[in-house]
Structure 1
Amino acid sequence: MSRLVLVLGDQLTKSLSALREARKDADVVVMAEVEEEAEYVRHHPKKIALVFAAMRKFAATLRDDGWDVRYTELDDTTNAGSIVGELLRRAGETGAESVLATEPGEWRLIDKLRYAPIKTEVLSDDRFIASHAEFERWAKGRKALRMEYFYREIRRKTGLMMEGDEPAGGEWNFDKDNRKPPPKSIDHDGPPVFEPDEEVSAVLDLVEARFGDNFGDLRPFGFATTRRQALAVLRHFIEHALPRFGDYQDAMLDDHRWLYHAVISPYLNLGLLDPLEVCERAEKAWKDGDVPINAAEGFIRQIIGWREYVRGIYFLEGPDYPKRNGLGHDRDLPALYWGGETRMRCLEQAVRQTKEEAYAHHIQRLMVTGNFALLIGADPGQVHEWYLEVYADAYEWVESPNTVGMSQFADGGVIASKPYVSSGAYISRMSDYCKSCAYKVGDKTGEDACPFNLLYWHFLDRHRDRFEPNGRMANIYRNWDRMDDERKRTVLREARAFLDRLDAGETV
């Protein structure tokens, strides 16, 4: 009796565990573009187009390899509208009585398969380096689940950038050599852009018709949609950008959206690239003398360290993790996050880039849009949903720990030892945004004062009971206490006035 082999839109990997376990001569692959997945949040049109186009290309690859692939396009009149519905429809069509699947990356889909009215065997997703069991063993009994120590375990496991039992260069982490302010010039034009072929163009037309009202620009569209193209993006990055990636990974510039970033996370998260192969190529570039150790290590840490770690946290903490609100924040996310007018240059640039590219790098997400949301006390559920909607690489397993945990501190400190908040000084140091902003980053109070300067102290003051005992924040509170009382009152009064204007829908 044949089985159905489910391949989801972010499982576009020929070595997927479900495909390895299946029989090409007997089993039937099921892939489907369904409303339930396309509409559970209002995804950026570019993201929907990327997933659908890559799915269609991958289905063709499987057919070329001899698989019987039953693929359902979104506008197919027989489309059941959901993954489970499509499985049941295909079971009736083929006579299959069971399903073979690789574990989805979201609890929402895991539950749907768990309770599906058809026998379903769910296999581990071993495209990741650490299994759930490995992460649970590492986490058991620890008072704090800090990424750095997990990262060291993965380095030992993989042997990446190791010299026997010791880290290459004598250090686990070369951040002291990274994260410089923006350079005067950039000699990298960003990742390769791929002109849509006939198949991708058809997807773009479909997405435009069905999701054209979603936040985000669909065109121009230049994402890679095949493994071959994704590998070309990786090669380009390693040759042209990785040598300076470490130095400027936190920099932000008005006129250079890509700087020295890889922009491969959409392809890693779709399954077109394998995390270990990506790291091995970066390591080889370092061994060959083409890339400095700080750049190679910093890049590899983002993948086998941070990416693996946040997945571990997501599954360890359980289905309710994205709903946490440890600081009790409840302000609605303001309209500027959907392109509403703002006088704040950093937010304007980060949101505009997000709208046009479905991409912003980690510091734009953490220290601009995320920092502002945390300082104003935005509802972390709304912030989580926004990040899930607007970025091409956003899937809940990776997005929610980054947002709920790292960015918004809504998990109460599971991921971060302190909240990632800053005044305008950090943004000024790491970008050129402040030079053309309507506000003055050097002003601490007054009509033209940078809102980050006001909101920073307002946030710390209203959460003093929560954060003052934190040893890493004690000096910050001492600085606040040393301020003149009148100045403190002015800061808090002006911060409250700013928040009132924000709540009233005024342009800020």
Structure 2
Amino acid sequence: MPRTLRLVLGDQLSDNLSALRDLAPGDRVLMAEVMAEATYVRHHKQKLVLVFAAMRRFADRLSERGVDVRYVRLDDPDNTQDIPGEVLRALEDGGLDRIVATQPGEHRLTRAFESLVLQAPVPLEVRPDDRFICPRPVFEAWARDRRELRMEFFYRDMRRRTGLLMDGDKPVGGRWNYDAENRKRLPRTVRPPDRLRIAPGPVVQDVIRLVEARFSDHFGDTAMFGWATSHAEAQSLLAHFIADILPDFGDWQDSMKGGEPFLWHARISAALNIGLLDPLDICRRAEAEYRAGRAPLNAVEGFVRQILGWREFVRGVYDLKGEDYVRSNALEADRTLPGAFWSGDTEMACVRDVVGV
């Protein structure tokens, strides 16, 4: 019986990942913590903890279902420390007839896959990443022949395609965008909501020790880590936001207050971006709160626009424009960022209160 090596990257921790859809007995899933992914930029320590811990917990989730998982830890002495190297090393065990992967979200990893095709002794099948709401061909068709790409027009098209917050072919409430109602100044008398605290478990604590030992020169403070690293924790964060925070999200979504890092924001972006949550499910759950009269339209529309509009639009532009887009430099910026953007050592409160936390 043919056996497949199925590669899962650190931001692809989804049960419905295309690379896992036809998983068969005898197939092997490969996941690897590698320095190449941890150091291509100086990531915040908490991001490293988030990704490595979530990877380990997803691998455990698969193993508990009887899936054969080859999991390579960062401190494995035989770790080649890059994705192509770990794929080739996994193939050395023999008995694997092909590699299946899901399209990576970054151009540099697409290049790594291209080099892997030339080196691997078995074929590589790269499947579309269909965890986004807008497939790549749909965005390309929408963008074709347009003089400019504007998020607002894309967002309206996505509302029509999905039916989110629509009454027939019209937007609910008669308007597409309620952003003008979402710019209120936060009064001193308004108290931010209590937040759901996620205590680091044993897996997270182990990864924190690893990150502090191996990435001590990176910025950030792991003592404050409280992000979701499992599907269950991500669902808890989402449920807490939907029930207790979403109704007031619209009024205060643009507000800032010293000493308050989260205010009315959902804290789900990290979980969403590594695959622990589904974007369309999030939008539909928010819409259901409006339909049930539990959240106002300005809050729900403003929240849905961040995911259905901005997140999908930015991903579409990134894919469409390709690697040259990052070098286009329309503002002709030619100076490096000051060190304060990593150290937080500055009198600018907007940077000091965020960087290094």
TM-score bin, normalised by smaller chain: over 0.9
Task: Name segments (4+ residues, structure 1) moved above 6 Å.
Answer: none
> Aligned partner of 1:299: which letter?
F
Shift of 1:97: 3.3
Quick one: which amino acid aligns to residue 260 of structure 1? W
User: Counterpart of 1:343?
Assistant: 347
Provide the C-alpha distance between the structure 2 equivalents of 1:337 and 1:229, rounded to a whole number of angstroms. 30
Report deviation, 1:167.
0.7
- Counterpart of 1:216? 220
Shift of residue 340 of structure 1?
5.2
Which structure: larger Rg?
A: 1
Determine which structure has the larger helix proportion and give its number. Answer: 1
Q: 1:201 to 1:166 in 2, by over 3 A?
A: same
Q: RMSD of aligned C-alpha atoms? A: 1.3
Segment drifting more, 299-308 vs 338-347: 338-347
Change (3 A) 1:161 1:33: same
* Counterpart-to-counterpart distance in 2, 1:302 and 1:260: 14
What is residue 65 of structure 1 aligned with on the other side?
65
Tell me whether 1:163 sits opposite 2:164 in the alignment. Answer: no
3-state DSSP class of the match of 2:224?
A: coil
Aligned length: 352
Residue of structure 2 equivalent to 1:14? 15
CA distance in 2, matches of 1:204, 1:94: 34
For each residue in 1:106-157, what CA deviation from the matched residue of structure 2 results, as whole angstroms up to 9, or x when unmatched? 0100111122112211000000011111001000111111011111111111
TM-score by length of 2: 0.95
In 2: Cα distance, 1:112 partner to 1:245 partner: 40
Whole-Å Cα distance in 1 between the matches of residues 194 and 64 of structure 2?
Answer: 32
Once residues 95 and 190 of structure 1 are traced to their aligned partners in structure 2, the CA distance between those partners, rounded to angstroms, is 53
Q: Which of 186, 192, 195 is equivalent to 2:196?
A: 192
Q: Which has the higher contact order (CA 8 A, sep 6+)?
A: 2
- More deviation, 37-46/326-335: 326-335
8 Å CA contact 2:182–2:251 kept in 1: the answer is yes
1:279 aligns with 2:283: yes
Identical pairs, percent = 50
Tell me which residue corresponds to 1:5. Answer: 6
2:344–2:356 CA contact under 8 A, matched in 1:
no
8 Å CA contact 2:344, 2:351 repeated in 1: no
For residues 114-193 of structure 1, the aligned pairs below 5 Å read 114-116=114-116, 117-118=119-120, 119-189=123-193, 191-193=195-197
Partners of 2:38 and 2:339 in 1: how far apart? 23
CA contact (8 A) 1:48 1:207 kept: yes
Q: Does the Cα contact within 8 Å between 2:193 and 2:245 map onto a contact in 1?
A: no
Secondary structure at the counterpart of residue 85 of structure 1:
helix
Residue 102 of structure 1 corresponds to 102
CA distance in 2, matches of 1:166, 1:199: 48
* Contact preservation (8 Å) 2:45, 2:215: yes
- Letter in structure 1 aligned against 2:35: E
Give the aligned partner of residue 355 of structure 2: 354
**Where in structure 1 are there 5+ consecutive unaligned residues?**
357-508
Unaligned runs of 5+ in 2: none
Aligned to 1:54: 54
What is the 5 A alignment of 1:178-327? 178-189=182-193, 191-327=195-331
TM-score normalised according to structure 1 size: 0.68
Q: How far apart are 1:354 and its partner, in Å?
A: 3.0
